[in-house]
Structure 1
């Protein structure tokens, strides 16, 4: 029977003093040393955030679902419980499509009805008499 892997915990001081570039996003700790050269925004962005909590900076950019999936490769543990953030910063994956507007009331059929009546009157009084 396989043993469950124990999650390593880090203090914020551990993250800050690490020899490797590590950062915190949503209370998870990531070692980004092997990702520096591959980061689309440039390694400077990661180096600037290394040693601290990069949650806000990460969410401000609006990373894609693919980027969030890629993060799993660099995950090394969690921030210890006593130092976890109390605020809840929601994931931002970029712009979301606007929901279609739906009135659902009488105005949703009033315009088509008006157009139909106008077309019927136009045919009855303008087009039909001209054809005769």
Structure 2
């Protein structure tokens, strides 16, 4: 596995969001999938839509095989500094029980 213990911020990863330079975050690990774009069974647009972002939910929702998960190792470039990823907020509708 590559990476040499490098840690990237979300801002650094987000700079890699083109077909010639495509990085993804999956399970707090950073992957350079540029060379895999043309070979991805779901098409390159799937990867490009998540380029420079945390693609964990997208990756897990598809239900990738063990061999697909093993393939990630060859694209590994480092870890994400999780403190740079904003926390997800849950939408809470305004209180509908207003006093009249």
TM-score range, shorter chain: 0.7 to 0.9
Q: Aligned-residue CA RMSD in angstroms? A: 2.0
Secondary structure of the residue aligned to 1:78 is strand
User: Partner residue of 2:71?
Assistant: 70
Q: Secondary structure at the match of 1:37?
A: helix
Provide the aligned length of Structure 1 versus Structure 2. 83
CA-CA distance at 1:80 after TM superposition: 1.5
Work out which structure has the larger RCO, using CA pairs closer than 8 Å and 6 or more positions apart in sequence: 2
Note the 1:104-115 alignment, pairs <5 A.
none
Greater helix content:
1
Structure 2 residue runs of 5 or longer lacking an equivalent are 89-100
In the alignment, does 2:12 pair up with 1:14? yes
**What 5-or-longer segments of structure 1 have no aligned partner?**
88-132
Q: TM-score, normalised by structure 1?
A: 0.58
Q: How far does residue 17 in structure 1 lie from its aligned partner after superposition?
A: 1.1
**CA separation in 2, counterparts of 1:75 and 1:21?**
12
Residue 36 of structure 1 corresponds to 37
Aligned partners of 1:8 and 1:78 also within 8 Å: yes
Change (3 A) 1:15 1:85: same
Counterpart Cα distance in 2 of 1:29 and 1:85: 16
Higher radius of gyration, 1 or 2:
1
Q: Kindly indicate whether the alpha-carbon contact (under 8 Å) linking 2:8 and 2:80 is maintained by their aligned counterparts in 1.
A: yes
